[in-house]
Structure 1
Amino acid sequence: MARHNRPRRRDGEHEPLDFDRLSSGLRRTEVRGGHEWTVQSISALQATKSYLCPGCGLHVSSGVAHVVAWRADGILGDEADLAARRHWHDHCWKIGTS
């Protein structure tokens, strides 16, 4: 018999989908260079601006899927960490060290 990993709701109602969360990409935490980073994927449809990739120094053009990364353990707090986020090419983030 198949096993379900999600608990069943007893009242028979389904949890509503959080479309903002679904459309914003999945966030994950990674450790690099001894620091925790929050990493969020950005789809090609969500990429509406051009950014400078800190990994290669080239532009991440609008319409190109990429990742956004920011420190998750900075000493100045969450707001400062989020303000210091950077947009990386997927490949540059995978091979780079932060």
Structure 2
Amino acid sequence: MPRANRRRPDPPPRAPLGRGVDRTVSGPDGTWVVRELRGTSSEKTYRCPGCHQDIPPGTPHLVVWPARGTFSPGEGVTERRHWHRSCFTARGRRF
């Protein structure tokens, strides 16, 4: 008996290229808004505050800022920090 062709489910929608979805993360150091970047849109080198190493252009990483109300581009730029994913996850163990 032949197999019936089954349609695969549609993949979940993806965020716009280069832009991640914002999520809120709470920890002992406060509440943060975290945006994951794939690295395709990054054109600069950033310094990770966790390990003090460079994040070269094109490298996937996180952009993190304090969760105080809303954030729009250009607002609170001085509070944004670019982190390696593993450094942000381990931030509570670094001190």
Q: TM-score range by the shorter chain?
A: 0.5 to 0.7
Residues 29 and 36, structure 1, Cα contact 8 Å, conserved in 2: yes
* CA distance in 2: counterparts of 1:48 and 1:42, whole angstroms: 12
Given candidates 33, 41, 52, the residue that maps to 1:57 is 52
RMSD: 2.6
Q: State yes or no: 1:31 paired with 2:26.
A: yes
Deviation, structure 1 residue 34 = 4.7
CA contact (8 A) 1:68 1:87 kept: yes
Question: 1:48 & 1:84 partners in 2: Cα distance?
Answer: 19
Aligned residue pairs total 77
Runs of 4+ in 1 over 4 A off after TM superposition: none
Paired-residue identity, %:
31
Give the 5 Å matches for 1:1-98: 22-23=16-17, 24-73=19-68, 79-80=75-76, 82-97=77-92
Contact 1:35 1:73 in 2 (8 A): no
Amino acid aligned to 2:65? W
How far apart in 1 are the matches of 2:42 and 2:27?
Answer: 25
Higher relative helix content = 1
Which consecutive residues of structure 2, in runs of 5 or more, have no partner in the other structure? 1-12
